[in-house]
């Protein structure tokens, strides 16, 4: 499969500040924006820190480790899936899907690990799995 041209992506065209995120994700790297003024990472990537309002932000690579903050098992979907809010060890909370987990094995506070995987449009997105 050819690597998508991220500069021509509608996502990058609409939000050019996310270009580095998409390019790194395609290489299996999970980036977050972090603020130099308040020293906190935030999600989703944006130019201005939503926590303090500073525009002095930069990219950091995250390990993708975190814990389950909240979750919901969508049993009526076909196929069913688990929607999960994850608090990354770096601080921000984000929403994604939890892969390969039996619903009765999921607990608030359980350790998870991000896995960047391609979706239908070719972009790589962070999904999570229960950590060993």
| 112 membership: H or E segment, kind and range | strand 111-118
**CB atoms near residue 57 (< 10 Å):** 21
Instruction: State pLDDT tens for residues 103-119.
Output: 888 999 999 999 999 88
Structural domains of the chain ordered from first start: 6-130 (2.40.50.840)
pLDDT for the residue numbered 10 = 74
Long-range CB pairs of 117-122, under 8 A, 24+ apart, other chains included: 118/1, 122/1, 122/4
Is the pLDDT confidence value at 13 over 90?
no
Is the pLDDT confidence value at 81 over 50?
yes
pLDDT for the residue numbered 5 = 59
**What is the band of 87 on the pLDDT scale with cuts at 50, 70, 90?**
very high
């Amino acid at each position: 499969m050819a690597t998508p041209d991220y500069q021509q992506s509608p996502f990058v065209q609409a939000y050019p500040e996310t270009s580095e995120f998409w390019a790194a994700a395609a290489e299996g790297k999970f980036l977050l924006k972090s603020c130099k003024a308040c020293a906190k990472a935030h999600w989703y990537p944006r130019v201005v820190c939503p926590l303090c309002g500073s525009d002095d932000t930069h990219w950091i690579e995250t390990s993708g480790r975190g814990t389950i903050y909240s979750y919901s098992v969508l049993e009526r979907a076909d196929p069913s899936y688990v929607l999960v809010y994850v608090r990354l060890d770096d601080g921000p909370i984000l929403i994604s899907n939890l892969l390969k987990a039996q619903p009765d094995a999921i607990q608030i506070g359980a350790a998870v690990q991000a896995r960047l995987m391609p979706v239908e449009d070719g972009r790589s997105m962070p999904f999570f799995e229960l950590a060993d």
